[in-house]
């Protein structure tokens, strides 16, 4: 396969991109893709280099003409007039980034994560008990969407009953990541984002009167480095980021992990026999099916990556999903290997100053879930009466549309 034949905007390629990743890694680990007007960076070493040099490779690409996810002027004007422009200040560089990250980081301290363990186990047990009453399910709907959304609503400090509404808002929010939405659809996306923003503002106001140990309370009281209150638009942007970042990716990993178990009874048996291996299984799922497949940076100055000259102002697309199959780091990269010597060397959570804040929650959710699922269900297999599972089209995220499985309760 020639790199010039690869188009990662093509839904057929997105469904099974792995041969393309192999070709890019072997022949063009840094490669300009006109379809996205960016240099696609696939090699593990080059991505590690980029994410640790924020002074050269900025995450703040607001000014770049291709940066706007909501592209039509009418949809953007609607957001700006009735809500806030789509913006998260976590996509800034140090030193500004440090203050915004600090504003939400309390909720991610080890003690706060550990305190959610019983809650997560209770949600998992309740969902697994429902699955055991049947001999099959649509796993995305019946499990993978619910657990991360229950965790996100709890972290934010909003009622669990609102999970379905927030899930809807989050799904609509990510639609522009697929590129090419009609103006009509973008207007709908903007309307729903405004509704989400109003919901978040109302809850932050309520937190001032009735504080809790949660992220919306922290955001409601958040200050800038100089002690002034953080502007409302910025607080809302951070909360939106946490909802989408905390939910879509974990849902994706739960679905991918279950799809692997349904195709690999030997792996399910190994985890059942030795539950301590679930931690390694989770890392391999993240590596092989990286939920956050790629994200952008912009070159602040002329630079070079893997011998390729990159002019100042160019966008680069860091393809975490390809780097996670880089044979120079992972032997037999396409194989799920529970005995890998470097299980956490993957870049599924990125690395450097923007490394995923929610990784400890994601790991906890995934580990508790898969430990319980393999103990509760036997003979897990894809449902042969349903079409093979396929993914929601998109450049950045990799999530199954649906996952119909059969099993026997143990």
Which residues in this chain contact ligand HEM in the complex, by CB under 6 A?
51, 59, 90, 101, 155, 241-242, 245-246, 249-250, 253, 291-292, 295, 320, 348-350, 354, 356-358, 361-362
Q: First CA to last CA across the chain, in angstroms?
A: 45
Q: Which is nearer to ligand HEM, 51 or 216 (CB)?
A: 51
Q: Which is nearer to ligand HEM, 90 or 377 (CB)?
A: 90
- Distance, CA of 243 to CA of 193 (rounded, Å): 12
- Minimum CB separation from ligand HEM for residue 290, in Å? 7
- Minimum CB separation from ligand HEM for residue 104, in Å? 6
- Minimum CB separation from ligand HEM for residue 295, in Å? 4
Task: Quote the tokens at residue 153.
Answer: 């609503």
Task: Quote the tokens at residue 348.
Answer: 């599924």
Q: How are beta strands 315-318 and 38-41 bridged, if at all?
A: parallel
Q: How many helices (H) and strands (E) does the chain have?
A: 17, 10
Q: Which is nearer to ligand HEM, 78 or 323 (CB)?
A: 323
Distance set, CA 305 to CA 8, 180, 295, 316 (Å): 21, 29, 17, 10
Q: What are phi and psi of 148, to 5 degrees?
A: -60, -35
- Distance, CA of 236 to CA of 86 (rounded, Å): 9
- Minimum CB separation from ligand HEM for residue 144, in Å? 11
Task: Quote the tokens at residue 107.
Answer: 């909720």
- Minimum CB separation from ligand HEM for residue 255, in Å? 11
- Minimum CB separation from ligand HEM for residue 109, in Å? 13
The sign of the dihedral angle between the CA atoms of 188, 189, 190, 196 is positive
- Distance, CA of 60 to CA of 236 (rounded, Å): 18
Q: Which is nearer to ligand HEM, 361 or 370 (CB)?
A: 361
Q: Which is nearer to ligand HEM, 14 or 292 (CB)?
A: 292
Residue whose CB is nearest to ligand HEM in the complex, by number: 358
- Minimum CB separation from ligand HEM for residue 393, in Å? 18
Q: Which is nearer to ligand HEM, 310 or 323 (CB)?
A: 323
Q: Which is nearer to ligand HEM, 363 or 404 (CB)?
A: 363
- Minimum CB separation from ligand HEM for residue 363, in Å? 8
In 3D, which of 398, 408, 410 has the Cα closest to residue 144? 398
Q: Which is nearer to ligand HEM, 170 or 350 (CB)?
A: 350
- List residues bridging with 397 in a β-sheet: 292
CB within 8 Å of 31: residues ≥ 6 apart = 3, 24, 39, 40, 42, 308
Task: Quote the tokens at residue 260.
Answer: 């692997």
């Amino acid at each position: 396969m020639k790199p010039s034949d690869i188009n990662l905007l093509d839904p057929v390629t997105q469904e099974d991109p792995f041969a393309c990743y192999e070709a890019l890694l072997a022949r063009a680990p840094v490669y300009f893709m006109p379809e996205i007007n960016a240099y696609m960076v696939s090699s593990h070493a080059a991505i590690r280099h980029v994410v640790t040099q924020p002074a050269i490779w900025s995450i703040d690409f607001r000014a770049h003409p291709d940066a706007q996810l909501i592209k039509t002027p009418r949809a953007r004007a609607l957001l700006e007039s009735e809500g806030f422009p789509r913006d998260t200040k976590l996509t800034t560089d140090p030193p500004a980034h440090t203050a915004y990250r600090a504003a939400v980081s309390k909720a991610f301290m080890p003690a706060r994560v550990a305190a959610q363990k019983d809650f997560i186990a209770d949600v998992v047990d309740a969902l697994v008990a429902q699955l055991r009453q049947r001999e099959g399910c649509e796993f995305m709907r019946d499990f993978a969407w619910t657990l991360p959304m229950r965790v996100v609503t709890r972290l934010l400090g909003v009622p669990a009953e609102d999970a379905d509404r927030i899930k809807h808002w989050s799904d609509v929010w990510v639609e522009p990541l697929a590129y090419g939405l009609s103006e009509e659809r973008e207007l709908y996306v903007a309307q729903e984002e405004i509704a989400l923003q109003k919901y978040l503002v109302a809850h932050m106001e309520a937190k001032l009167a009735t504080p809790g140990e949660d992220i919306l309370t922290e955001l409601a009281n958040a200050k800038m480095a100089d002690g002034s209150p953080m502007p409302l638009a910025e607080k809302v942007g951070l909360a939106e980021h946490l909802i989408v970042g905390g939910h879509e990716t974990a849902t994706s990993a739960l679905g991918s992990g279950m799809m692997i178990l349904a195709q690999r009874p030997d792996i399910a048996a190994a985890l059942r026999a030795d539950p301590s291996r679930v931690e390694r299984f989770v890392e391999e799922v993240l590596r092989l099916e990286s939920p956050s497949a790629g994200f952008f940076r912009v070159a602040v100055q002329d630079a070079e990556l893997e011998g390729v000259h990159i002019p100042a102002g160019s966008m680069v697309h860091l393809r975490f999903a390809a780097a996670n199959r880089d044979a120079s780091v992972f032997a037999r990269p396409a194989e799920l290997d529970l005995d890998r010597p470097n299980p956490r060397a993957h870049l599924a959570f990125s690395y450097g100053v923007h490394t995923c804040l929610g990784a400890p929650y994601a790991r906890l959710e995934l580990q508790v879930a898969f430990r319980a699922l393999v103990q509760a269900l036997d003979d897990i297999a894809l449902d042969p009466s349903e079409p093979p599972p396929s993914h929601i089209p998109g450049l950045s995220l990799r999530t199954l549309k649906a996952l119909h499985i059969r099993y026997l309760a143990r």
